[in-house]
Amino acid sequence: MFNDWVNVEGTVIDFTVPSFKNTINDPLNAAIEAVNDIVRNCPPPYNLFASGGVDSQAMIYAWKKSNHPFNVYTFSYNQTYNFHDIETLFVFCEQEDIPYTIIDIDYFKFLEEEYDAIANKYQCSSPQISMHIKMSSFFSEGTCVYSGNFLSLRGAQLTDAILGLYRFSKESQDKTIIPYFFLNTPELAYSFVHYRRNNNSVVKVTEQQSTYMSRVIMYNVTGFPVIPQKDKFTGFEKYKEHYDSHDYVLKDLKARLRWQNKPSHRPFDWLFRYPYEEKFGCPRITFVLNKLPYVIN
| Residue-by-residue DSSP string for 174-227 | SSEEES-GGGSSHHHHHHHHHHHHT-HHHHHHHHTS-HHHHHHHHHHHTT----
Dist. CA 260–CA 238, nearest whole Å: 23
| Residue 259 vs residues 167, 239, 241, 272: alpha-carbon distances, Å | 27, 20, 19, 12
Q: What's the mean pLDDT when you consider all of the chain?
A: 90
Q: pLDDT for 12-30, tens place per residue?
A: 999 999 888 988 889 999 9
pLDDT of residue 282: 86
Q: What is the pLDDT of residue 196?
A: 84
The 10s digit of each residue's pLDDT in 151-184 is 887 788 899 999 999 999 999 888 999 999 999 9
β-pairing, 7-9 vs 12-14, is antiparallel
pLDDT at residue 256, rounded to an integer: 85
Q: Domain ranges for the chain, please list them.
A: 2-236+279-296
pTM: 0.93
Across residues 255-261, what is the average pLDDT?
88
> For domain 2-236+279-296, is the CATH number 3.40.50?
yes
Query: What pLDDT, on a 0 to 100 scale, did the predictor assign at position 297?
Result: 38
Residue 189's pLDDT is what? 94
